[in-house]
Chain A
Amino acid sequence: MNSDDRRWAERARELGFNQLEVARRQAEAWRNGLTGVTALLGTVFIVKGRDDVTELAWWLQWWIAFLLVVAFASLIRAIFLALGAAAGETNERILLTGEDLREWTEGEVDRVGRDIGAAKRWTIAGMALIAMALLTAWLSPTAETTRPMMRVDFEGGVACGPVTFERAGYIGVTSKYGSPVDTKLWVPVDKVSLLREVPSCP
């Protein structure tokens, strides 16, 4: 017989008497942790306000939204792993004998180590995704919505949108601008009967 067995048996018995205190301690740890989660999410939203995103092309906006959603998911996963490691899982029940407690403790030590490692990796992934979203927002050319909208009447009909003159003899009109189905139409200059700025296109 190992004299450690005696100590483990004592610990297990002690634990039986202290169940309420430990419950309170754990509830407290989880409460503090979850308060932290809320604070963190708030911070991320402030960092990435919507102002500088709304001027980007639609697909960039969606890309940034996607990056942020995955980033949040990663960070939340990281936080829950870390909380579980720090506060202990709340729903485990073992037979309170020295041997069962010892076996559980050994498994738990391994689990805490693994979960902290995983929490680190998820945090790094989440931060990287947020950085990527920020960089996308900063480095992307803003959409050309700031260019004036022009209504172009020509022989074949009417087009409306921002115009370009990059092809000699043609006016380029991007209709349905800013939507996934925008189309650029090249109208020969000599067919244009009217060209005027409008506040918005239909």
Chain B
Amino acid sequence: MTQRKGPIENHRAVPWAPTEFGLLETFSVMTDPEGTGYVVEGSCPTCGAHLKIDWHFGNPGYKGVTVSPDVVRPKAGPRTINCDCGHDHAGRPGSAYDDGCGASWKVMLP
């Protein structure tokens, strides 16, 4: 999930465009303090929005009823992030799930 940090960011109201970037080193990827996921933080390469993303574990097909879940340890490697800055970017199609500028990039999961 994404939180916007208003005061720090320097947001550019560029028109929506599906732009794909490669791996970005400018994002930090940290395990979260409770050990239940990762916190990824950085600025969108297109619109400059400051993004903080929580990656947590969940049931991929369905969330189950068992008490002790089998947690699948994620492998190290690149993971995709789509911009979800929450600002209005002109021309964003209604079919776009993510509420951002259309930029998409990767970060390296340790």
Residues of A within 8 A of B (CB): 1, 3, 5-6, 8-10, 13-16, 19-20, 22-23, 25-27, 30, 87-101, 103-105, 108
Contacts and interface: CB of A to CB of B under 8 A. Distances in A.
B61 A1 contact: no
A105 B61 CA distance: 8
Nearest to A98: B80
Tell me which of B37, B64, B70, B98 has the highest count of chain A C-beta atoms within 10 A of its own C-beta: B64
A13 B98 contact: yes
Contacts of B105: 1
Contacts of A19: 58-59, 63
Nearest to A27: B65
B67 to A, nearest CB: 9
B62 A88 contact: yes
A99 B68 CA distance: 24
Interface stretch (B5-13, B18-26, B85-93): B18-26
B35 to A, nearest CB: 12
**Which secondary structure dominates chain A's binding surface?**
helix
A20 B109 CA distance: 27
Contacts of B75: 103
Q: Please classify how large the interface on chain B is, using the bins under 10, 10 to 19, 20 to 34, 35 or more.
A: 35 or more
A13 B47 CA distance: 20
B20 A1 contact: yes
Given A1-B20, A6-B20, A22-B62, A91 B69 contact: yes
A96 B56 contact: yes
B77 interface: yes
B106 A95 contact: no
Contacts of A97: 55, 74, 79-80, 109
Interface string B21-39: 1100000000000000110
Contacts of A104: 60, 72
B58 A94 contact: yes
B98 A90 contact: no
Contact of A105 (B37, B60, B79): B60
A22 B60 CA distance: 9
B74 A87 contact: no
A16 B56 contact: yes
B52 to A, nearest CB: 14
Given A91-B69, A94-B74, A97-B79, A3 B62 contact: no
B18 A6 contact: yes
A98 B71 CA distance: 16
B64 A1 contact: no
A96 B37 CA distance: 9
A5 B98 CA distance: 13
A14 B99 CA distance: 12
